[in-house]
Amino acid sequence: MPALPLGKLAILAVKQVAKPFAKGLKNGAKNSEIFKNYFILPVAQGVHWVDVKVKTRLMGANNAQVYKLNEKLAVEYGSEFISEFFLYALGTALVLYEYNRSANKEERKERKIQNNAERMENELQKLQKRFARVSVYNRGAGAEIRSLQDKLVICTVRWRPSRNSF
């Protein structure tokens, strides 16, 4: 039975919780004068400027004049941009987290396989050395056995029981 993708479910839950948070961020940004004047309006004007420049260049006009947005429209545009940026940044962070987690899992799996291969190679080398020692011992024991057999044959040939000995 495959394991439940709890990590992916957690990511989905975080994204669902982030949507109301982004909406609250958007509403808070509209209501805070300091945040609005020093962050939202400059961001909105900058995004608007880039948007107009890109669109005019794509249409073939190079020297288009970019007019500033009025404050109400800039606040709406900037707070919407910040809200969307927050969601995309969170989504990107979660995708990167999942990618790193998956890559680390693969790396651990490869390391385990490599360690098993090294362990098996070391065990094989130990067995080869042991086999070589046993082979040397067996050759020596075989020579000793042959020598004893030769002595036994010589002794048997020298000693011939007489027919009357029993």
What's the pLDDT tens digit per position in 55-112?
Answer: 888 888 877 788 898 988 888 888 888 878 887 888 788 788 888 888 888 889 899 9
Task: Quote the CA–CA distance of 155 and 159 in Å, as a whole number.
Answer: 6
Contact 122, 53 (CB under 8 A): no
Inter-helix orientation angle 71-158/6-31, to 10°: 160
pLDDT at 105: 86
Task: Quote the CA–CA distance of 120 and 114 in Å, as a whole number.
Answer: 10
Residue 2 pLDDT > 50, yes or no? no
Nearest CA-CA partner of 72 in 33, 43, 30, 22: 30
